[in-house]
Amino acid sequence: MSRLPPAVPPMPTFLSVSGVRTRHVALGDGPPLVLLHGIGQSLEDWHEVLAPLAERHRVYALDLIGFGLTDKPDVPYSLAGLARFVQHFLDAVGETRPATLIGNSLGGAVAQQFAVMYPERAARLVLVNSAGFGAEVTPLLRLLTVPRLGERLLRPHPRSTARVVRSIFRDSAFMTPERLQHAELVAEQPNRSRAYLSVARHLGTWRGIRPDWRDTLIRQLAARQLPTLLIWGEYDQILPAHHLRAAQNAYPHARSHLFKNTGHLPQVERAGEFSALVLGFINVPSLQETSLQENST
């Protein structure tokens, strides 16, 4: 399993996004990339790939509203609301260029929703073990949708936090003390359950992920034929790898890659290969772009 040499991650900073104190990292120069984490997670999920991606691009990684160490206001939380927050974030950092959105898990669904709502601002999509392609999801997320039970399950405890961190990796070596410490810090944040439960219940039930929003989103986005790269880890315990086949059927124009012996975070477990794959995809013109270039000459 390839790993990048250890690097000191850039120190996140805070800025106001529509009045919400938002934690983020911005580094590098070039066409913009926006990195979106999964439910209950934070921008730390991208630390291993920030530096290589920033060698050619302006990279933005943020804690979404309600997650990580970003504020958790008492507002309605929805997929559209999260996508709108990404737009507000880009406005706040002064980024007006069309961006490549790279979304993991929930972040993949947010990236797709963003591309539907703001087509002029989305250049490409990289969907990493993305939500939106099947009903199956880890039992914990299904249980969180049950009233009162979900609230009890989200009470912070080191053992439950450790189980969650362990579940996202195929290789337990990635369950480092630093990663556990940060996960415990996130779990102890005031009002942490507010967004977590709202989003989980908006997108799913105890039976699994709702089909209505998935079908609508795929139908709307498929019509755009947006250049897309689909990535999955073979041993994902959160969103099973056979969802990749559904994603390929939904977006037949997309490129795809399955990482063997990898869990829910290929960008961590396969950081070097992941970065090379993404940079290769971004920097090779799509057929659509080639056609546009030929027509303009």
What are 210-215's contacts with CB under 8 Å, separation 24+? 211/135, 213/79, 214/132, 214/133
**Residue 292: predicted pLDDT:** 36
Label residue 50 exposed, middle or buried (CB < 10 Å: 0-12, 13-18, 19+): buried
Q: Which residue has the tokens 């959160």?
A: 238
Largest CA-CA distance found in the chain, in angstroms, rounded:
62
DSSP calls for 62-111: EPPTTSTTS---SS---HHHHHHHHHHHHHHTT--S-EEEEEETHHHHHH
Residues contacting 1, CB < 8 A, separation 6+: 171, 261, 262, 269, 270
**Residue 285: predicted pLDDT:** 64
Which amino acid type is present at position 154? Answer: L
Element at 33 (helix H, strand E):
strand 32-36
Q: Which residue has the tokens 């898990």?
A: 105
CATH class of 13-139+211-296: alpha beta
Per-residue pLDDT of the chain (297 residues; tens, 9 = 90+): 444 444 566 789 999 999 999 999 999 999 999 999 999 999 999 999 999 999 999 999 999 999 999 999 999 999 999 999 999 999 999 999 999 999 999 999 999 999 999 999 999 999 999 999 999 999 999 999 999 999 999 999 999 999 999 999 999 999 999 999 999 999 999 999 999 999 999 999 999 999 999 999 999 999 999 999 999 999 999 999 999 999 999 999 999 999 999 999 999 999 999 999 999 999 876 544 444 333 333
Of residues 241, 234, 196, 266, the one with CA closest to residue 41:
196
Q: 272: how many CB neighbours lie within 10 A of its CB?
A: 15
Cα dist from 252 to 78, 191, 228, 247, whole Å:
27, 40, 10, 8
Contact (CB, 8 A) for 56 and 283: yes
Which amino acid type is present at position 230? Answer: L
Residues contacting 139, CB < 8 A, separation 6+: none
**Residue 296: predicted pLDDT:** 36
Q: What angle do CA 185, 186, 191 make, to 5 degrees?
A: 115
Cα dist from 203 to 36, 134, 157, 207, 217, whole Å:
17, 12, 25, 11, 12
Q: Where exactly are the structural domains of the chain?
A: 13-139+211-296
Q: Which residue has the tokens 């105890």?
A: 206
**Residue 289: predicted pLDDT:** 44
**Residue 9: predicted pLDDT:** 65
Contact (CB, 8 A) for 149 and 140: no
**Residue 294: predicted pLDDT:** 36
**Residue 77: predicted pLDDT:** 96
